[in-house]
A and B are shown apart, each in its own frame.
Chain A
């Protein structure tokens, strides 16, 4: 830990955390690649389990993409706070005098940039492998971008709650998935409409509304949960 003078405002501090987390993530590139590889494997399972016929695969493509994205994001969430909690960094954040809500929002944003966004970018490629027409790529990117953002924010609460639990991965899944169902419903619906070439704005707006709700409320709950686990 370098001993930089305390930054002036919570926003500055949040920006520093964002930078730090991105730098740390780029130093451990394997951790960025893991969720992507996991996503690719889950999507590969579907043709093997259903059938190699592209027409049938196109039917299950929204389900395959979204179940893959949900599970890959959840897998990555386990590492969101773990390292920082173990080496005491999280405690320093809580003590530094700035709003913990902002700092955790920055951490979650960095996490999403490193997992959710890459997932959204490779989702159309995975879609192509499932027989999805290339024209629907933009819709899929938009839906998965918003969906993974909401999921990262929602999952941050779960990750913060399970901080004190040994091997909390399964528990994190059990806590987060029921709450994430609206994301799955709207996300899969938007993807399905995009694949059919129909107007997918309505479910996309609902996904965006959920993301806005997550941006405003989830960091508050995550900060409360982190404080509880640091006590």
Chain B
């Protein structure tokens, strides 16, 4: 059958072994890409004509913001798959996604406000993108709070999956209402960030960082997934066989 690989992925021992095998590949590729991207972005790329050296924080900020959103969709999709087809590994993936995504959201907010100090003259501006990011962080926190409030694993999985699905339906609505809210209450124009095409010396490191962060997320996810599977299956026999005593 063409779909046997998919069923195999749903089995915790197989997923555990596969995650262990894949982690170094993702991890090392991510480390190389991030090292190269940081060198390219922080050393080789020319300073921006308007923002000078301060623009370089984009090499951490933009990938973090991108990851926080991508991880939320990953979380919601795998939670939905787990809810619909009752695949335990998918719930484990969703559970492992949440803390990573929340950390990226915090990183995006922190780097955003650090960049805001020299650019806007203030650490926090109610900019629509910063506001949306903050709300995304609250969504992550709510998801983790619900999960930790329910003791039974199966019930926690399924309840938090419903929350994740409701959240992902709402994310675009929240995003656009925040933009709309901001355009109505536009105060002093903070700074016109007209986007000229980035020169390749700036863009290539950014793309490398983006890819590197994505692979880093996969590596982190696989490590967390293995821990999550171990915790959930701690009484299963295969674990005693798979792990050296």
Residues of A within 8 A of B (CB): 157, 161-162, 164-165, 168, 171, 174-175, 177-179, 181-182, 185-186, 189, 206, 210, 213, 217, 221, 224-225, 228-229, 231
A228-B162 in contact (CB<8A): yes
Q: In the complex, what's the smallest C-beta–C-beta distance from A98 to chain B, in angstroms?
A: 21
Chain B residue numbers with a CB within 8 Å of A210 are 173
Q: Is the C-beta of B163 less than 8 angstroms from some C-beta in chain A?
A: yes
Given A185-B181, A189-B181, A225-B159, decide whether A168 and B139 contact each other with a Cβ distance below 8 A: no
A229-B155 in contact (CB<8A): yes
Chain A residue numbers with a CB within 8 Å of B170 are 179, 182
Contact of A221 among B135, B139, B166, B173 (CB under 8 A): B166
Contact of B165 among A185, A189, A221 (CB under 8 A): A221
Chain A's closest residue to B170 (CB) is A179
Report the stretch among B21-29, B57-65, B143-151 that lies at the interface: B143-151
Q: In the complex, what's the smallest C-beta–C-beta distance from B72 to chain A, in angstroms?
A: 12
Q: Is the C-beta of B220 less than 8 angstroms from some C-beta in chain A?
A: no
A181-B159 in contact (CB<8A): no
* CA distance in complex: A174, B150 (Å): 15
Q: Is the C-beta of B130 less than 8 angstroms from some C-beta in chain A?
A: no
Q: In the complex, what's the smallest C-beta–C-beta distance from B42 to chain A, in angstroms?
A: 35
A185-B178 in contact (CB<8A): yes
Q: Is the C-beta of B116 less than 8 angstroms from some C-beta in chain A?
A: no
B135-A181 in contact (CB<8A): yes
Q: In the complex, what's the smallest C-beta–C-beta distance from B33 to chain A, in angstroms?
A: 33
A179-B159 in contact (CB<8A): no
A161-B163 in contact (CB<8A): yes
